Amino acid sequence: MDHHRQDHAAAGPRAWKKPLAVLFLLLAGLGGLLYVASPYAAKPYGLVVTPSAIAAIDEAFDGGYAWKLLLPYAYNKGDGGYARYAWAPSSLIPLYLLEKTLPPKAVYMGLALFMAGFVFLLTFKAGGGLSLAALVSIFLTLGTHLHYNFTMGNTNLFYLVYCYAALHLYALLPWLRGRQPSRGDRLLLALALILLFFSGDHWLAYICGLLGALMAVAGLSLKHGQEKMLRGLYGAGGSALGALALYVAVRSLYAGEHLAPGTEEELIFAHQSMLLMVDDFFNNFMTFLYMVLSVFLPPLPFLDGSQSALFLSEAQVLAGQNGYHPSHTQLVWYSHVFMWRYAAGLLAACFFWRLWRWFEEARRHFSRDALVKLSLGLAVCGSFSFYLLIKMRPYNSMPALGYKTALGVFFFSLLCAYVIVRRGERTSRRRFRLLYGGCIGLVVISFLTRPFMLTRWLAVDGLVGMWRSPLTDFLRGLW
């Protein structure tokens, strides 16, 4: 028996004694980090749901027609006279109820830790083992992709979306493993799909990523004559595709904010030029992919853009030109600001090279290991679909709004954790511990240092970010 897989879930209550002890220690550590190192929330929207959305829910409850929240409802009648709609009762209403009873930071920490515990238990129950379960929870909790939460608290809902997505993947296991699903399996899958369906537009990113991965695995299964797996994939994909079609059919009736000229989420199809459509699509894809691939990296020279733009002001950078060509000196600042695009190309090339290697392995040998890696990698790419069709906007000029790639980070966290644990299974226990501890250390360092960089990049976009925390204030006091 492999020494890294002895902690898999087993039957009986005694088998949960060690996992629950590990979970307690994990949540205690994560809770301590979140409490002391999370940035202070900006006023008035940090860590809280948009007031207009809260007011719309208040109105529905007070007016006695709360049932209407099960349909898309207008919560903002700004952009170009078109109302903005929300259709997220399974995520916004729990947030609404929590905000009515708890302070913002308690809501944030409670949701983050609940998500970490829920994902841990599901991963372990699915047979992933303690190592994999803990690593996935750490990645999803300490990743800085939801940093904008401290400026705009709507992103708290992603913790619930993560729970629903994890439940959906767990519910799909009988189909993906080629087993005959029981009635309980079907009920669990229906529950997970309903929760996802009503969690907001962002679930589209998850379902599109999942469908892309399932189609690739189905094609390889067909090539290798894996009829049993094909039947399971058809069942898993059919239910997801049916839910997606229904959602799009209903939501398209309330899509004014995506069609009105000048709105925040205007679609690329409004461009008069096909060239602009293609450029915006490609630019969005590369930006979002970079945001996912770099999410666990601390600010590093060359991998996170110009260090000059990070630590120096625009005036200091331009002063170095000593008055040369003053009408176009601004281009020097832009060159520094957009230096991250070199790293984006490098990371994308490495990522696609690995995808190709996994595809080749799966194509030749139909390796389950390669299939898992390939499907999660393809799911990362497919998870951007929700935002790829939105016009290039100034707020996307820098890779700082990580919540737009939140579902991509979900799949990427699963992929990274799986690769690390599988790598550890092929080496000694000592080397695995070094690898495992090193990866956790890297994520913790990123969690502590990356908010400063994101705040700087948000300022370039004309947005506000937060990086000061109780920990940074304590360290500054010592200094």
- With 70 as the cut, is the pLDDT of residue 133 above it? yes
12: confidence class by pLDDT, cuts 50, 70, 90: low
The residue among 253, 255, 292, 284 whose CA lies nearest residue 410 is 292
- With 70 as the cut, is the pLDDT of residue 365 above it? yes
Phi (first) and psi of residue 171, to 5 degrees: -65, -25
Across the chain, what does the average pLDDT equal?
A: 91
Distance of alpha carbon 10 from alpha carbon 14, whole angstroms: 9
- With 70 as the cut, is the pLDDT of residue 62 above it? yes
* pLDDT for 80: 53
479: confidence class by pLDDT, cuts 50, 70, 90: low
Phi (first) and psi of residue 244, to 5 degrees: -65, -45
- With 80 as the cut, is the pLDDT of residue 3 above it? no
Task: Look at 56 and 83; give whichever has higher pLDDT.
Answer: 56
Q: Could you report the per-residue pLDDT of 207-216, keeping only the tens digit for each?
A: 999 999 999 9
6: confidence class by pLDDT, cuts 50, 70, 90: very low
* pLDDT for 1: 37
Please give the average per-residue pLDDT across 247-264, as a whole number.
85
* pLDDT for 302: 78
Residue length, the chain? 479
Q: Could you report the per-residue pLDDT of 74-87, keeping only the tens digit for each?
A: 887 654 557 788 89
Least confident of 73-82, 143-152, 205-214, 468-477: 73-82
Give the C-alpha distances (Å, rounded to integers) separating 232 from 177, 237, 378: 7, 9, 19
- With 50 as the cut, is the pLDDT of residue 10 above it? no
Distance of alpha carbon 370 from alpha carbon 437, whole angstroms: 24
Least confident of 23-32, 205-214, 239-248, 463-472: 463-472
Cβ distance 442 to 297 under 8 Å? Answer: yes
- With 90 as the cut, is the pLDDT of residue 162 above it? yes
Please give the average per-residue pLDDT across 382-400, as a whole number.
90
* pLDDT for 9: 44
- With 50 as the cut, is the pLDDT of residue 113 above it? yes
Please give the average per-residue pLDDT across 399-413, as a whole number.
96
* pLDDT for 147: 93
